[in-house]
Structure 1
Amino acid sequence: MPQTILVVDDDPSFNNMLSAFLKRNNFHVNSVFSSASALASLSEQTPDLVLTDFKLPDMDGLELMREIKDRAPNASMILMTNYSDVRTAVKSIQLGAFEFVTKPVNPDELLLTVNAALKQSTKSDINQPSEAKSLGKQKAVSDRKYIVGRGAKARQTWEHIQLVAPTKMGVLILGESGTGKEYAAKMIHESSKRSNEAFAAVDCGALSKELAASELFGHVKGAFTGALADKKGQFELANGGTLFLDEVGNLPYEVQVQLLRALQEKKIRKVGSEKDIDVNVRIIAATNERMAEAIDEQQFRLDLYHRLNEFELKLIPLRERIGDLDEYLTHFLEEANAELEKAIKGVSPEVNAVFQQYSWPGNLRELRNVVRRAALLCQVEEIGLAHIPSTLVEESRSEEQEASASTNGYDLKNMQEHREKETIERVLMEVRYNKTKAAELLNIDRTTLYNKLAKYNIKA
């Protein structure tokens, strides 16, 4: 039976073209032109995959993804966006999207991503017992090796992983989106005394407030509407092993209380049950937010923070370790060659120069996506400028020109930073210094906002 794809895009021509392409590739396609129509269609049929544009007339793609996550949690999601909206793409991954694709859409690239998303969904949700379903869906950890890097900071991070891994200490991993927090957690587990036991990964940012407790601790039959059978939570499924809580700062406050109890007493209680269950789980948590600010704003419990942060591990953004870029580039190209059955030997000097100059706001995840896309498009032995997004080339050149102007007395960078500081200060005043709202209006994540507050010495 053909798998079902829901296409959401308000451009009739593009929507019809995309739907026709997917139908030619033997998918059942339901196409709509707004978020409201997309949500209405969920009551009639749950799709295997949702392919949505970011810019929609009634609700942006990220808001739509949040709604779909609540109403159809088993549907895979892919976001379509302009390449310049890298931060939007990063947010889509945080919300549980399988991947994002950039417009103009390359048909071969899109088909590859669609098939991969549906393949992962099938592995997670079909012909598996309910317990294995839950664990498999959240795990999603690649067997890809952890690349240490050659820089001093990267080496120190690796040494810290090796030092803390054999202990029983809880670890809090800090880092921007795309820096490899889950891979670091996986390496800690594999180097620990629990390496032969389960490793489960949960994206706390993708858990709805209503279902977070059930996902972590399980529930009994009849605990709430839709609880048709007993369910084990991730704590039980990872018992004896390691539980990785990604984006832990997004956990609802009520669930934070339950998590604290689980850590202190090593006991959990399923939703709707009166019986405690003993658990032995090592917790590794991660966040891309500055927890101190979240605690100050009473969004995260201080006592839970100290329980989680027995050892703090900071992952460095790619822009601060450009010396390691060649190593990652080689690895991602080898990975793309194997996946796409190519034999590409490397990148041209021009492409390498662009990569070295670009700031990589999406970090390693963005680099991997760029290399994978370029490998798909490349029909020769070397990736050239024509195979990478033009916006990436333009941005890297713009950054290079700003640096050149600064050294010649025309300090465009300083002018740009001055305007940026004024904009941040104005937005903060408008939202009465609510940093979460300010970050949303500025279209940056909270970590980036806090970095800029520190950089410009803005008191908020």
Structure 2
Amino acid sequence: MSNSVLIADDDHSLRLVLSAALDKAGYHTVKARSGKEAIDFVQKDEFDVILLDIFLGDADGLELIEPIQKLNPTAAIIIITGHGTTQTAIDAAKQRAYSYLTKPIDLKHLLDLVSRAASATSQTRNVKAAITSIDADGKGKMVGQSAAMQAVYQIIGRAAVSDETVLIMGESGTGKELVAELIHQNSPRSDNPFVVVDCSAIPPSLIESTLFGHVKGAFTDAHTDRKGKFEQADSGTIFLDEVGELPIDVQMKLLRVLQERKIEPVGSNETRPVNVRIIAATNRKLDTAISQKTFRDDLYYRLNVVPISLPPLRERKEDIPELIDLFTSRFAQEYQLPKIGISAETIKKLIEYEWPGNVRELENAIKRALVMCSGQMLLTEHFSQIFDKPISGSTTDNQNPNQQIHALLQGEVERYLESDVDAGQLYAAIRSIFEKPLFKIVLEHTGGNRSKASEILGINRNTLHTKLNEYDIK
């Protein structure tokens, strides 16, 4: 239903008054007199806004927020209370309610709040559609229909349409950088820079200069003025990955940037204004770091305006089959391999595995399995590094890596010999099948460094450049 509002209140007169005002304003309203009725309506229909009394006859409104959000994750929930205390607002915020209204309700304020809530719901749904779509080349955005991921989509959607500071928390491999990029891509800043800074990869002596820049003569090698990452991200978004690794003195300067929206380059006494949205991420437990005095509590509160907690893969195992399908399709297309299936037993074992490396580990396992597979079906033995068992089977018993590659090559050659491949083209066809993934894998390993890739491959840079153009590898 478009512009739909569910009114859940045990006060018959109030339900009628609210319904009349909203109907007149063009909304479609549905009235529930109890918590049970509210849940029944939400199970049947999707609402844009839900007005939920904190004291229903048969339920506590705050306790209904979680089950309602599971059924209708994008709806904006507005709590109605006759006891407008600070604690009510805090409790509503903790439950991720959109806002709250205090009785007696001012109808003008009601209409204004419902209008903003409905607009936020629409924007959230648009963003959710964008972040969960799959590109034409098979590249995924975010995948997962689990309740845990639905909650994540909802927060990403709301974060994207705001300009607040975001703190993304999650284990390595859960997709923190992807979330940051999606927030930026769907925000009003999307046409401006998205600058990524891995705080854990920069030497402590260089981190301040990297973030805030320096002026000529600031230190021995400062031969010219240089803009830092914050100025490079001006009008856009800066993503501070592993922000928990920042030294304490740099944390203090980052706090000042958040408070004043100004940076001071190393060696300068002048500040420069910056218009930057900050998204930070960490795989550390920052509350522990605060207690150990390795992270500032005031910086934590400044960063943690919009918290997003990414669940580990072991806590959303129902999403694994969808992820497997995505990765097998993507890599088969990327490496120009035939469509490959996966056995039910293998899927079962992959679901049972705990995935300490999360989605990144699953992605790499699928990629490796496709290279090892010489048939049309991924089997448990193709995931030997995951399940800690040797490659086995009729065609791969006790094979060393050279034998495995030989078996894979044999399968491809036989497939081409049985097809209608043009005479004289077999060598070129087989070479392209193996060369393209080889160059892609090595280039990914070097982080796009072509000089390093050419060294590893044992070819000169001109040859590598020609090959990358030939296979359209960016």
**TM-score, structure 2 length as denominator?**
0.52
Instruction: Give 2:321's aligned residue.
Output: 326
Instruction: Give 1:306's aligned residue.
Output: 301
Q: Give the 3 Å change call, closer, same or farther, for CA 239–370 of structure 1 in structure 2.
A: same
- The alpha carbon displacement at 1:391 in A equals 4.8
Cα deviations by residue, 1:343-369 (Å, 9 ceiling, x for unpaired):
232212232122011100000010011
SS in structure 1 at match of 2:280:
strand
| Residues 235 and 279 in structure 1, CA contact (< 8 A), matched pair in contact too | yes
Q: Give the 3 Å change call, closer, same or farther, for CA 390–145 of structure 1 in structure 2.
A: closer
Which of 335, 339, 345 pairs up with 1:350? 345
Instruction: Give 2:235's aligned residue.
Output: 240
Instruction: Give 2:260's aligned residue.
Output: 265
Q: How many angstroms apart in 2 are the aligned matches of 1:232 and 1:145?
A: 34
Q: How many angstroms apart in 2 are the aligned matches of 1:245 and 1:278?
A: 19
Instruction: Give 1:442's aligned residue.
Output: none
Letter of the structure 2 residue corresponding to residue 189 of structure 1: H
Q: 5+ residue gaps in structure 1? A: 1-141, 396-460
Instruction: Give 1:176's aligned residue.
Output: 171
Letter of the structure 2 residue corresponding to residue 285 of structure 1: A
More divergent stretch after superposition (274-283 vs 219-228): 219-228
Letter of the structure 2 residue corresponding to residue 320 of structure 1: E
SS in structure 2 at match of 1:219:
coil
- The alpha carbon displacement at 1:280 in A equals 0.4
Percent identity of paired positions between Structure 1 and Structure 2: 45
Cα deviations by residue, 1:92-133 (Å, 9 ceiling, x for unpaired):
xxxxxxxxxxxxxxxxxxxxxxxxxxxxxxxxxxxxxxxxxx
1:204 aligns with 2:190: no
Which of 376, 381, 384 pairs up with 1:386? 381
**After TM superposition, what 4+ stretches of structure 1 lie above 3 angstroms from structure 2?**
142-145
Letter of the structure 2 residue corresponding to residue 154 of structure 1: M
Q: 5+ residue gaps in structure 2? A: 1-136, 391-474
More divergent stretch after superposition (333-342 vs 309-318): 333-342
- In the TM superposition, 1:23-422 aligns within 5 A as 144-393=139-388
Q: How many angstroms apart in 2 are the aligned matches of 1:371 and 1:229?
A: 47
Cα deviations by residue, 1:209-241 (Å, 9 ceiling, x for unpaired):
100011111112221222232221110111001
Q: Give the 3 Å change call, closer, same or farther, for CA 227–389 of structure 1 in structure 2.
A: farther
SS in structure 1 at match of 2:360:
helix
Q: If you compute each CA radius of gyration, which structure gives the higher value, 1 or 2?
A: 2
Q: How many angstroms apart in 2 are the aligned matches of 1:327 and 1:334?
A: 11
- The alpha carbon displacement at 1:375 in A equals 1.2
| Residues 138 and 326 in structure 2, CA contact (< 8 A), matched pair in contact too | no
| Residues 197 and 241 in structure 2, CA contact (< 8 A), matched pair in contact too | yes
| Residues 148 and 155 in structure 1, CA contact (< 8 A), matched pair in contact too | no
Letter of the structure 2 residue corresponding to residue 367 of structure 1: L
SS in structure 2 at match of 1:185:
helix
Q: How many angstroms apart in 2 are the aligned matches of 1:295 and 1:172?
A: 15
Cα deviations by residue, 1:241-294 (Å, 9 ceiling, x for unpaired):
111111100001111111111111111011112221110000011111111110
- Choose between structure 1 and 2 for higher RCO, CA contacts under 8 A separated by at least 6 residues: 1
- The alpha carbon displacement at 1:339 in A equals 2.4
Instruction: Give 2:417's aligned residue.
Output: none
| Residues 369 and 383 in structure 2, CA contact (< 8 A), matched pair in contact too | yes
| Residues 344 and 383 in structure 1, CA contact (< 8 A), matched pair in contact too | no
- The alpha carbon displacement at 1:190 in A equals 1.2
| Residues 172 and 311 in structure 1, CA contact (< 8 A), matched pair in contact too | yes
Q: How many angstroms apart in 2 are the aligned matches of 1:364 and 1:373?
A: 14
| Residues 354 and 393 in structure 1, CA contact (< 8 A), matched pair in contact too | no
SS in structure 2 at match of 1:202:
strand
Q: How many angstroms apart in 1 are the aligned matches of 2:359 and 2:289?
A: 26
| Residues 340 and 376 in structure 1, CA contact (< 8 A), matched pair in contact too | no
SS in structure 1 at match of 2:205:
coil
**TM-score, structure 1 length as denominator?**
0.53
Q: How many angstroms apart in 2 are the aligned matches of 1:347 and 1:248?
A: 39
Cα deviations by residue, 1:311-336 (Å, 9 ceiling, x for unpaired):
11100000010100011111111221
SS in structure 2 at match of 1:245:
strand
Q: Give the 3 Å change call, closer, same or farther, for CA 294–144 of structure 1 in structure 2.
A: farther
